[in-house]
């Protein structure tokens, strides 16, 4: 059976006419060189070979995994201004669908995850184009893109998502990877509207970080599982050092095990943020040492999550959820 990582990121600086960009503020950040290193590239290499190099390196590293066969690589739409145009001044990272779809077609182990900000005047048309280009899901980062999932003006967008059979993978909980975020928009309770409209919604990170209205976000997400069979969540990033204990907290709710999907939030595991040594008290020295010796980041991520109690069937569920996935 095929194991698919549904939550894998790309990057680009605009090299090779990719259309990508990273804001000057983010490029000046201490995080920028670390991100490049985690993708296995340098700025010089990207300038010479183009941003497609990120996808080639990603595919090569994934091909060396013995546990994970495919990964959904996520585009990143930007912030829109009052006219519905891309606001470059407020967008920290932009990875256009056209670039990512083209590059993913080069590698059978990389699946195209589109991103469409619904504030665009042509958002529905962009959804259609993404589906035609082979998108298997649509990714949102509401707290960064300025999208309110509860806005009823998005109903036509949701209905088209449901018609196309495109799942919506949307960040839930506190966002910490960018320099600014409106975390009120990542309140999982705001997902009720797309769920009511029949969209298959995947709550990224299972809302394990932060609070909304004085209540833990995970507590606000859990009741929705009982109400909506079209709600899922991924386990990406739940073993990071800044999310210590989050995977165990999610797995304690056995009633949602059948709704959990496997994801990594790559390249963050390649940055050492999910080292087994952070889980020494739970694993013990010998097991932590064994897991730390696994060189491939996907293989280590799978084995670590299994060691922490993740049921193995979670690894195989995404193949039945993604749109038109060709296995």
> Residue 289 belongs to a domain with what CATH number?
3.20.20.140
Is residue 287 in some structural domain?
yes
237: which DSSP letter? T
Is residue 325 in some structural domain?
no
Is residue 327 in some structural domain?
no
Spatial distance between the Cα atoms of 76 and 225, rounded to a whole number of angstroms:
27
Is residue 53 in some structural domain?
yes
The residue range of the domain holding 8 is 4-320
Is residue 83 in some structural domain?
yes
Spatial distance between the Cα atoms of 313 and 3, rounded to a whole number of angstroms:
10
Strand, helix or coil for residue 17: coil
Spatial distance between the Cα atoms of 305 and 311, rounded to a whole number of angstroms:
9
At a CB cut-off of 8 Å and minimum separation 6, what does 270 contact? 38, 39, 40, 61, 297
> What per-residue confidence (pLDDT) applies to 327?
38
Is residue 242 in some structural domain?
yes
Spatial distance between the Cα atoms of 234 and 38, rounded to a whole number of angstroms:
22
Torsion sign across C-alpha atoms 265, 267, 268, 272:
positive
> What per-residue confidence (pLDDT) applies to 325?
53
Is residue 121 in some structural domain?
yes
> What per-residue confidence (pLDDT) applies to 181?
62
For every one of its 327 residues, what pLDDT tens digit does the chain have, with 9 covering 90 and above? 899 999 999 999 999 999 999 988 888 888 888 888 889 999 899 999 999 999 999 999 999 999 999 999 999 999 999 888 899 989 989 999 999 999 999 999 999 999 999 999 999 999 999 999 999 999 999 988 989 999 999 999 999 999 999 999 999 987 766 666 678 899 999 999 999 999 999 999 999 998 999 999 999 999 999 999 999 999 999 999 988 899 999 999 999 999 999 999 999 888 888 999 999 999 999 999 999 999 999 999 999 999 999 999 999 999 999 997 543
Is residue 306 in some structural domain?
yes
> What per-residue confidence (pLDDT) applies to 144?
87
Indicate yes or no: pTM above 0.85.
Answer: yes
Number of domains in the chain: 1
């Amino acid at each position: 059976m095929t194991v698919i990582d549904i939550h894998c990121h790309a990057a680009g600086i605009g090299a090779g006419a990719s259309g990508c960009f990273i804001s000057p503020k983010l490029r000046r950040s201490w995080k920028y060189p670390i991100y490049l290193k985690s993708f296995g590239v340098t700025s010089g290499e990207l300038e010479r070979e183009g941003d497609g190099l990120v996808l080639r390196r990603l595919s090569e590293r994934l091909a060396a995994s013995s546990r994970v066969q495919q990964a959904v690589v996520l585009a990143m739409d930007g912030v829109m201004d009052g006219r519905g145009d891309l606001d470059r001044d407020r967008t920290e990272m932009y990875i256009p669908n056209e670039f990512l779809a083209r590059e993913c077609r080069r590698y059978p182990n990389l699946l195209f995850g589109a991103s469409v900000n619904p504030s665009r005047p042509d958002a529905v048309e962009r959804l259609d184009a993404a589906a035609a280009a082979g998108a298997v899901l649509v990714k949102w980062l509401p707290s960064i893109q300025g999208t309110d999932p509860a806005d009823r003006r998005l109903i036509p967008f949701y209905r088209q998502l449901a018609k196309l059979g495109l799942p919506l993978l949307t960040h839930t909980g506190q966002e910490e990877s960018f320099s600014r975020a409106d975390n009120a928009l990542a309140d999982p309770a705001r997902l009720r509207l797309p769920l009511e409209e029949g969209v298959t919604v995947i709550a990224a990170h299972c809302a394990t970080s932060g609070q909304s209205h004085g209540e833990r976000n995970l507590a606000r997400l859990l009741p929705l599982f009982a109400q909506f069979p079209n709600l899922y969540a991924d386990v990406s990033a739940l073993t990071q050092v800044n999310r210590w204990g989050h995977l165990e907290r999610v797995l304690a709710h056995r009633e949602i095990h059948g709704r959990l999907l496997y994801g990594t939030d790559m390249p963050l595991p390649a940055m050492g943020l999910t080292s087994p040594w952070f889980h020494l008290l739970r694993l013990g020295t010998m097991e932590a040492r064994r897991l730390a010796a696994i060189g491939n980041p996907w293989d280590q991520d799978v084995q670590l999550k299994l060691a922490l109690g993740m049921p193995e069937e979670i690894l195989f569920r995404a193949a039945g959820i993604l749109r038109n996935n060709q296995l």
